[in-house]
Amino acid sequence: MNAPRRGFDQQEFATRTAAAQTKMAETGMAGILLTTEPDVRYFSGFHTLFWQSPTRPWFLFIPATGKPIAIIPEIGADLMRRTWVTDIRTWGAPAPKDDGIGLLTDLLAPLASRGETVGLMKGHETHLRMPLGDYERLLAGLNGLKITDATEIVRGLRMVKSEAEIEKLTYICAIGSRTFEQVPEIAREGQPLEDVFRSFRREGLAQGADDVPYLVGGADTGGYHDVISPPSRRPLARGDVLMLDTGSNWDGYFCDFDRNWAIGRADDASRRAYDVLWRATEAGIAAARPGATCRELFQAMQKVITELDDQGGDVGRLGHGLGMQLTEWPSHTSWDTTEITENMVLTLEPSLGYGDGRVMVHEENIVIRASGAELLTKRAAPELPII
């Protein structure tokens, strides 16, 4: 598979912005102010790792009509000028006394004086990426401005991917699948888990990932005990179950899936757990069709999981949305009634507890098409593979 073209046509950003503006008009918002990397990138195409530095805030404002307006540190001006955004207002950040607040005030004051409403991301899975003190000072200077939650609008757009986004997601999932196929060459009895992690990251890069920022996992006799730890120096031993879970990315889009292996030999309990999760995933693939809800998808997987575990593990959900972030809305849980629609990209992530405090997780990535789920990841082996 050849690499897709990086970035997007300007038309993609125009379409996204117009779709947001239609929803804004329906709900009476005069604008949306965005502060996080994925939200700013989604509407502007501004793509830089510089967000890893927490020092500077960055803002993108979606007005009621027209292109987004960037209010950003001067250091980002050159890169922003290469996007479709043309109204770029900059200041010499960092400047604790006025880190963009003056520019934002100039932008929003006319709206405040008319008593208009501006949307901010205030809902689930969001946060405000600017100093809380600056936010309070900004509002204090904008008498009359009403703030509302724009999460529903942005969530609704970002959950359904364009073909160009799906192409990038397909590409990184294929890279992830090839990387996992190399694990039997990478992971051997006696090798410290920390070294397995390092080799996996190097392999992911060699296979074409831009980066492998997320890698967690575990290995222990007859099963691992948690799924979010950094690796220990403990050497892999015969009888271990090894799990690696990666979020690798390409051009700003993520895969997010995991694989399990037994080292030397597999114990019966782990084989059984693996089988249940493999079939739970099958049930999830079958249930993931346009018109179904996330709750139904959850129930389809949970029904299989309860053969072995009626606790449902402790990971809180059985999968989620995937795209510019490792995890996105929606959630496959009993409380999420989001309707699954064509061109959503989702993870299926059944998990269970077994034995004496052991857990097992499985994960695949899918895209929803008219006819149902299509796998983006190369399906895990039906039986726990032995290295």
146-149 vs 117-120, strand pairing mode: parallel
Stretch that binds a copy of itself, among 131-139, 157-165, 269-277, 377-385 (CB under 8 A): 131-139
Q: Whole-number minimum distance, CB 319 to a copy of itself, in Å?
A: 12
103 belongs to the binding site for a copy of itself (CB under 8 A): no
CB–CB of 23/68 below 8 Å? no
Q: Are 289 and 340 in contact (CB under 8 A)?
A: yes
- End-to-end CA distance of the chain, in Å? 28
Q: Give min distance, CB of 44 to a copy of itself, in A.
A: 14
Query: Measured from the CB of residue 206, what is the shortest distance to a copy of itself in angstroms?
Result: 7
Report the site for a copy of itself in 218-247 (rule: CB under 8 A): 225-230, 233, 247
Q: How many whole angstroms separate alpha carbon 109 and alpha carbon 143?
A: 8
Residue 334 CB, nearest approach to a copy of itself (Å): 10
Residue 151 and residue 158 in contact, taking contact as beta carbons nearer than 8 Å: no
User: What does each C-alpha distance from 38 to 86, 128, 210, 261 come to in angstroms?
Assistant: 19, 12, 17, 33
Contact status: 291 vs a copy of itself (CB under 8 A): no
Q: Which of residues 21-60 bind a copy of itself (CB under 8 A)?
A: 47-50, 52-56
Strand partners, 221: 240
Beta carbon nearer to a copy of itself, 77 or 286: 77
Which residue of 1, 14, 64, 95 would you call a contact of a copy of itself, by CB under 8 A?
A: 95
CB 32 within 8 A of CB 118: yes
- The residue range among 25-33, 109-117, 126-134, 170-178 that interacts with a copy of itself, by the rule CB under 8 A, is 126-134
C-beta of 15 vs 151, nearer to a copy of itself: 151
Asked if 205 interacts with a copy of itself (CB under 8 A), we say: yes
Say how far apart CA 156 and CA 192 lie, in whole Å.
43
Question: Are 73 and 55 a contacting pair, CB within 8 Å?
Answer: no
**What amino acid is encoded at 271 in this protein?**
R
The structure tokens 């008319």 sit at 114
- Which residue of 206, 237, 381, 386 would you call a contact of a copy of itself, by CB under 8 A? 206
Contact track, a copy of itself, 320-359, x by CB under 8 A: x----xxx---x-x-x------------------------
Residues 75-94 within binding reach of a copy of itself (CB under 8 A):
75-79, 92-94
